Amino acid sequence: MARKKNSSAEVTGPRIRAAAQELFARHGYAAVSMRQIAAEVGVQAGALYLYTPDKQSLLFDMMRDHLAELLDTHAALPECADPMAALEQFTRFHIRFHNARSDSVFIAYMELRNLERANFTRIEAMRRSYEARLQEVLERGRAAGVFDVPDTKLAAFALIAMLTGVNTWFRETGRLSLSHVEDIYWDMVRKSVGG
C-alpha cells in the first residue's frame, strides 16, 4: 500500500478518455476540439496535455483498447467443438458485446479515416484478426458438411455487417429486448449459412 493519493492523478486521466469518447462518438473526431473535452472534464485545455501527447493519441488509444478488449473477451469464451454451437456463440457474443459499447464501436468504424497511417495499419490488423475468427468457424462448419457457404470470407464480412447493424437502431426502450433481438438475428444467421 503506497501513500494515499490526492485522487486527481488517477481520476483525471480516465475522465478525459471518457469525455473524449463520448464527444467523438456524438460529434465526430474532427468536429470535437480539445477545448470541448477539457470543458467536459472541468479543466483547462492545456491541462489535457499532461495526460495525452496529442489529440490523435486520444483517438488511437481508445480504438486500440476497444479492439484489444474485443479480441481478449472473445478469446476467453469456452471452446465449441460443434460448428453450429460456435456460430451461435459468435452471433450472440457479437451482438451483446457491441451493444454494450456503442460509443466505442461507432468510433472504431467511423473514425478510421482520421487515423494517421501507422495507427490505421495497427487497428486494421486487429479488426481483420477478429473477422478471421468468424471465418474459421465457417470454414470448420463447411469442412464438417454442416454449413453450405460458397465463400467463407464473404460470408464472414456479410454476417459481421449484419450483426453490427443492430447498433444503429436498437434502443433499450424499444419494443424488443436485446435477447429477443439476438434470437431473431441468430435465426437469420443460421438459415443464411444453410444450417
Binding-site ranges for DNA (CB under 7 A):
6, 8-9, 12, 32-36, 42-47, 49-50, 54-56
C-alpha 56/C-alpha 53 separation (Å) is: 8
Nearest Cα neighbor of 160 from 176, 178, 137, 144 is 137
Distance of closest approach, residue 117 Cβ to its own copies, in angstroms: 14
Could you say which of 35, 144, 165, 177 contacts its own copies (CB under 8 A)?
Answer: 165
By beta-carbon proximity to DNA, the closer residue of 119 and 152 is 119
# binding residues, its own copies (CB under 8 A):
34
Asked if 150 touches its own copies (CB under 8 A), the answer is yes
Could you say which of 26, 82, 124, 125 contacts its own copies (CB under 8 A)?
Answer: 26
Asked if 145 touches its own copies (CB under 8 A), the answer is no
Transcribe the chain into DSSP letters: --PPP-SHHHHHHHHHHHHHHHHHHHH-GGG--HHHHHHHHTS-GGGGGGT-S-HHHHHHHHHHHHHHHHHHHHHTSPP-SSHHHHHHHHHHHHHHHHHTTHHHHHHHHHSGGGS-HHHHHHHHHHHHHHHHHHHHHHHHHHHTT----S-HHHHHHHHHHHHHTHHHH--TTSSS-HHHHHHHHHHHHHHHTT-
Asked if 178 touches its own copies (CB under 8 A), the answer is no
By beta-carbon proximity to DNA, the closer residue of 59 and 193 is 59
Residue 44 interacts, among DNA, its own copies, none and using kind-specific CB cut-offs from 5 to 8 Å, with: DNA
Q: How many CB atoms lie within 10 A of CB 22?
A: 15
Distance of closest approach, residue 14 Cβ to its own copies, in angstroms: 25
Distance of closest approach, residue 95 Cβ to its own copies, in angstroms: 11
Residues in 53-82 at the binding interface with its own copies, rule: CB under 8 A: none
By beta-carbon proximity to DNA, the closer residue of 7 and 168 is 7
Asked if 138 touches its own copies (CB under 8 A), the answer is no
By beta-carbon proximity to its own copies, the closer residue of 43 and 182 is 182
